[in-house]
């Protein structure tokens, strides 16, 4: 397999995993952390 | 193929049983809490993290890689292996800061250092990256073991990939990090024994250390004994520019966190140490032992070169160390050698299984999915994640062998682009989450531009590795510095909290002044001493020891020098060179001086933390006992 293509595939998998973690964090932040932070602020 | 006698099978089996059984013994400790399953309760004396740092740095593919660079470059190849020297400064700077943060992982540290949505995105990003990275390393190291199994027994590659990893998973699943670290200790001893044995046998096979050197001179390869055999300032395959770049990446990288891929693994060891002092010494000693190991390997690989000087294929000469062991050791000892290979393999597999599970459990599951999970649930989630990682590594290792090989290179590029941001996030208060996130994103694009696209279109010539590194760094900085300065700094409340807890080194003036104004820390008082300040101060109160002083800077300068003396001295000493003995002696004196200068301060810093640590563990014990008794009552009911 071509060196450039292989590296592209490999790096893409790494970045997909990282973006998945980032998306998870955004979802968790909206669902759990932001409401808690707002509750804290309103006290 | 190697012939195994009954005695060889006995020794290999006995070592395997000792390593697995010894680690499994700690099953009960691991189930107490998440802290025990992933950090051994943060109570380890320095020598346990040290042995774990050494064992984790020694994987199945490590002797292949070290053999490759020494066979091709001679002793100057030792500088390629000197990347381990990131621990020289990190032991006294970033390890201290990270240990004080009490973060379980580097991803968790991100939300302590930065705040708001940006910090959470970073934590998720890093957790995803690390879950992948650990699975990738497991697959990569597993394939290396598969190749060894194929060489020794003629087994199909999948056998070496699957069977040892599955055995490792048994004690990692049961005993968590307790199993990892206790296994690493036993595996470290076995590995050191075998490395020493093969070096002595290999040197004897040529006729002794002096004979190896004499033969190299006769062959017209005397330059292979010179660690500074440069090929020019910018030309040839070992120019000064490349050497300096490697030194800067390794040594200066110690000011940051994540400048080396190994940081993420060692961060767990740093946090599992019982105090700042133990964390510092654990990391330093583990790094030093790794350099000694490289010196031993270098000597025996030069002996291998003398015996077999004309191997052109990299894949063939990379197996030199394994060949020396299997071909030269007598019957019975071959089994011991196989036991040692299993030891270095198991230690790496167990570390990455547990670390990948830690990132998933702590930074994704507990933080974003089930923040109210009990300790018991978290331990079970850790086990489930370990199992899934194991299966993922099999898939990755078997299906993507070729991609994995090139991904190593891709990951190096990745580290090049975020090397500077990894330092800035530690030493510069104004650097923020958006700047750091921008550096990761920018790196994806610029690495492709610099390495393939621009050279392919003739915009720039193909660059040597050191040229790529500096250009990637400059292009990345052109993105992340404006991103930092065009977005708001982190909130001062958040920064002050972080500053008071970790007392970082670097440009933190505005935050320090704010913390002082709020009365959270005492203004940096110059200690009053009769007759002025001594050149080296050896009496400190915990408050005085919090700041950075001349003693820290002496350690920062002396530590990499000692490391360099160790790696050069040991290799040349084993090759019968007189200067090797003198350099090794210099390393020992330097190490003692380092200890003499920094130990009083590290002790003072640690006193306060050990007290807090004891309270924390006491509290944990109470809560876990309650948790277990409540569960027992429910079961009985």
> How many inter-chain contacts (A to B, CB under 8 Å) are there?
93
Alpha carbons within 13 angstroms on the beta-carbon side of residue B502 total 27
Are B287 and B85 spatial neighbours (Cβ–Cβ below 8 Å)? yes
Decide if pLDDT at B19 tops 90: no
3-class secondary-structure state, position B43: coil
B123 part of contact set with chain A, CB < 8 Å: yes
Q: Which residue of B has its CA nearest to A26?
A: B121
Query: Average per-residue pLDDT in chain B?
Result: 88
B402: which chain A residues are within 8 Å (Cβ-Cβ)? 1, 6
Radius of gyration of chain A (CA): 18
User: With 60 as the cut, is the pLDDT of residue B533 above it?
Assistant: yes
The gap from C-alpha B213 to its chain's centroid, in whole angstroms, comes to: 32
Alpha helical stretches, state H, B433-549: 433-448, 454-456, 465-486, 492-502, 509-517, 542-545
pLDDT, position B626: 46
How far apart are the C-alpha atoms of B630 and B460, rounded to whole Å? 68
**CB-based contact (8 Å) between A35 and chain B?**
no
Closest Cβ–Cβ partner in B132, B406, B440 for A17: B132
pTM of the model: 0.90
Encode pLDDT of B394-415 as tens digits: 887 776 655 555 566 666 666 7
Q: By CA distance, what is A9's nearest residue in B?
A: B403
Nearest Cα residue to B568 out of B186, B227, B158, B204: B227
DSSP label of B234: S
Task: Please say if the pLDDT value at position B292 is more than 90.
Answer: yes
Residue of B63, B607, B102 whose CA lies nearest to B301: B63
- By CB atoms closer than 10 A (0-12, 13-18, 19+), residue B526 is exposed
Q: State residue B635's pLDDT score.
A: 44
Burial readout B458-481 (b: 16 or more C-beta within 10 A, e: otherwise):
eeeeebeebbbbebbbebbbebbb
Phi then psi for residue B22, to 5 deg, are -60, -40
> Nearest CA to CA, how far is B411 from chain A (Å)?
8
Task: Give 3-state DSSP helix, strand, coil % of chain A, rounded to 5.
Answer: 95, 0, 5
**pLDDT tens figures, B404-459:** 555 666 666 667 789 999 999 999 999 999 999 999 888 878 887 887 788 889 88
Give the mean pLDDT of B74-89: 95
The pLDDT score that the predictor gives to residue B373 is: 87
Provide ipTM, 2 decimals: 0.88
User: By the CB < 8 Å criterion, does B364 face chain A?
Assistant: yes
């Amino acid at each position: 397999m071509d060196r450039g293509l292989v590296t592209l595939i490999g790096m893409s998998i790494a970045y997909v995993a990282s973006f998945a973690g980032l998306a998870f964090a955004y979802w968790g932040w909206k669902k759990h952390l932001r409401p808690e932070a707002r509750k804290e602020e309103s006290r | 193929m190697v012939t195994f006698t009954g005695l060889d099978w006995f020794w290999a089996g006995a070592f395997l049983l000792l390593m697995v059984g010894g680690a499994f013994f700690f099953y009960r400790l691991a189930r107490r809490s998440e802290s025990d399953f992933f950090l051994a309760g943060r109570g380890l004396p320095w020598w346990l993290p040290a042995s774990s740092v050494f064992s984790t740095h020694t994987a199945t593919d490590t002797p292949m890689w070290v053999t490759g660079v020494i066979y091709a470059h001679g002793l100057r190849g030792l500088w390629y292996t000197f990347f381990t020297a990131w621990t020289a400064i990190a032991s006294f700077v970033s390890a201290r800061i990270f240990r004080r943060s009490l973060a379980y992982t580097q991803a968790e540290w991100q939300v302590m250092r930065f705040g708001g949505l940006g910090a959470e995105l970073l934590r998720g990003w890093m957790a995803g990256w690390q879950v992948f990275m650990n699975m990738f390393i497991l697959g990569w190291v597993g394939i290396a073991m598969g190749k060894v199994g194929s060489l020794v027994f003629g087994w199909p590659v999948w056998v070496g990939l699957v069977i040892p990893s599955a055995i490792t998973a048994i004690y990692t699943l049961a005993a968590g990090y307790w199993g990892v670290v206790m296994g690493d200790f036993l595996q470290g001893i076995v590995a050191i024994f075998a490395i020493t044995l093969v070096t002595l046998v290999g040197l004897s096979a040529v006729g002794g250390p002096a004979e190896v050197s004499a033969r190299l001179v006769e062959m017209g390869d005397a330059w292979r004994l010179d660690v500074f055999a440069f090929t020019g300032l910018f030309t040839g395959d070992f120019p000064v520019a490349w050497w300096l770049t490697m030194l800067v990446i390794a040594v200066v990288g110690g000011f940051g966190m994540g400048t080396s891929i190994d940081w993420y693994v060692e961060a767990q060891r740093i946090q599992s140490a019982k105090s700042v002092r133990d964390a510092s010494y654990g990391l330093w000693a583990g790094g030093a032992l790794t350099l000694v190991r490289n010196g031993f390997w270098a000597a025996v690989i030069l002996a291998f070169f003398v015996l077999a000087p004309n191997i052109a294929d990299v894949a063939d000469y990379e197996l030199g160390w394994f060949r020396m062991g299997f071909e030269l050791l007598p019957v019975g000892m071959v089994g011991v050698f196989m036991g040692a290979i299993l030891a270095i393999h198991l230690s790496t597999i167990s570390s990455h299984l547990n670390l990948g599970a830690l990132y998933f459990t702590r930074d994704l599951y507990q933080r974003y999915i089930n923040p109210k999970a009990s300790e018991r649930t978290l331990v079970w989630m850790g086990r489930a994640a370990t199992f899934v990682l194991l299966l993922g590594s099999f898939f990755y290792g078997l299906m993507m062998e070729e991609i994995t090989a090139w991904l190593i290179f891709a990951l190096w590029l990745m580290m090049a682009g975020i090397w500077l941001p990894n330092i800035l996030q530690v030493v510069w208060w104004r650097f923020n989450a958006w700047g750091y996130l921008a550096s990761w994103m920018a790196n994806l694009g610029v690495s492709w531009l610099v390495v393939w696209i621009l050279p392919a279109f003739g915009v720039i010539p193909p660059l040597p590795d050191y040229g790529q590194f500096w250009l990637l760094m400059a292009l990345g900085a052109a993105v992340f510095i404006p991103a930092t300065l065009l977005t708001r700094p982190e909130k001062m409340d958040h920064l002050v909290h972080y500053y008071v807890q970790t007392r970082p080194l670097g440009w933190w003036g505005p935050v320090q002044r704010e913390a002082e104004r709020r009365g959270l820390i005492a203004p940096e008082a110059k200690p009053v001493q009769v007759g002025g300040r001594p050149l080296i101060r050896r009496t400190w109160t915990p408050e005085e020891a919090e700041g950075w002083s001349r003693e820290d800077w002496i350690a920062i300068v002396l530590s990499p020098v000692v490391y360099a003396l160790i790696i050069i001295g040991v290799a040349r000493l084993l090759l019968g060179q007189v200067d090797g003995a003198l350099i090794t002696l210099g390393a020992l004196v330097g190490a003692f001086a380092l200890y003499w200068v920094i130990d009083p301060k590290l002790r003072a810093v640690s006193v306060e933390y050990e007290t807090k640590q004891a309270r924390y563990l006491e509290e944990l014990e109470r809560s876990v006992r309650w948790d277990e008794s409540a569960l027992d009552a429910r079961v009985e009911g």
